[in-house]
């Protein structure tokens, strides 16, 4: 988006990223209650959104009920985000803060962990809304695997999660830094007790929400 409505008060787009079992879902819930308690309009979203037709194809792939080419599933995950883009923008402009459990960074990290070229993986994500804050819940793959075990979906294997962790690291080293002016990226040590992680998250999120409420333009992902 250009600079129109640049000073308009709006909700913040906050993304939580990390390996499977890094604690994103519990922290999203806690953050939601915190912001709600402060009187903000807030919604919790997650990707993949398994409720849409595309989401159901993704869900069946993750459950190993269907087989798809690596590039085809990559594009489906991306399409699943594109089909929610317009609603996402409407919500933000109406003042609702969105806490989003996984976004384009998962898209790139998981697919590039399979060996797909990182730039190829980023391409279909270009033009989606850029988050105002990306929180990476940092946890070693081995620690994540110890947390009550994996649920048995396609990617929930230690060896693969190690590759995903490396991909996230590459993204954080290059791509994330290159758009730091669009989104603040924070790495949160997810090995700490859950209350400590929650406290760290509250601190950075509060600043971000206030900034967006005062007025901040909405940017697009990876177009610069």
- Give the interface with ligand DGP as residue ranges (CB under 6 A): 20, 47-48, 62, 74, 77, 102, 106-107, 110-111, 153, 155
The span from the CA of 108 to the CA of 121, in Å, is 5
> What does residue 13 show for φ and ψ, rounded to 5 degrees?
-100, 105
Min CB(76)–ligand DGP separation in Å: 8
Min CB(107)–ligand DGP separation in Å: 3
Min CB(54)–ligand DGP separation in Å: 11
Closest to ligand DGP by CB, 8 vs 49, is 49
Q: Strands across the sheet with 42-46, in order?
A: 42-46, 97-101, 13-18, 133-138, 184-189
Closest to ligand DGP by CB, 16 vs 212, is 16
Closest to ligand DGP by CB, 6 vs 51, is 51
Closest to ligand DGP by CB, 73 vs 183, is 73
Strand partners, 184: 133
The span from the CA of 12 to the CA of 206, in Å, is 10
Give the side-chain half-sphere CA count within 13 A for 186: 20
Q: End-to-end distance of the chain based on CA atoms, in angstroms?
A: 13
Closest to ligand DGP by CB, 62 vs 182, is 62
Min CB(62)–ligand DGP separation in Å: 5
Structure tokens given for 194: 């859950």
2 by DSSP, 3-state: which?
coil
Min CB(210)–ligand DGP separation in Å: 28
Min CB(70)–ligand DGP separation in Å: 8
Count CB atoms within 10 A of the CB of residue 52. 14
Closest to ligand DGP by CB, 209 vs 222, is 222
């Amino acid at each position: 988006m250009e600079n129109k409505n640049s000073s308009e008060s709006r909700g913040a787009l906050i993304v939580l990223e990390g390996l499977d079992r890094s604690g994103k879902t519990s922290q999203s819930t806690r953050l939601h209650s915190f912001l709600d308690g402060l009187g903000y309009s807030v919604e919790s979203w997650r990707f993949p959104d398994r409720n849409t037709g595309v989401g159901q194809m993704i869900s069946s792939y993750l459950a190993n009920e269907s087989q798809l080419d690596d590039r085809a599933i990559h594009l489906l995950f991306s399409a699943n985000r594109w089909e929610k883009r317009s609603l996402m923008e409407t919500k933000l402009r109406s003042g609702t803060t969105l806490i989003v459990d996984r976004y384009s960074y998962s898209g790139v990290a998981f697919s590039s962990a399979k060996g797909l070229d990182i730039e190829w993986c980023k391409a279909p994500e270009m033009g989606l809304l850029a988050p105002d804050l990306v929180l990476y819940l940092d946890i070693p793959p081995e620690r994540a695997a110890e947390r009550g075990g994996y649920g048995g979906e396609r990617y929930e294997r230690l060896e693969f999660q190690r590759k995903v962790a490396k991909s996230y690291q590459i993204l954080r080293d290059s791509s994330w830094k290159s758009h730091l002016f669009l989104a603040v990226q924070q790495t949160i040590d997810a090995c700490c007790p859950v209350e400590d992680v929650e406290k760290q998250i509250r601190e950075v999120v509060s600043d971000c929400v206030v900034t967006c409420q005062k007025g901040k333009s909405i940017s697009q992902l990876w177009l610069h």
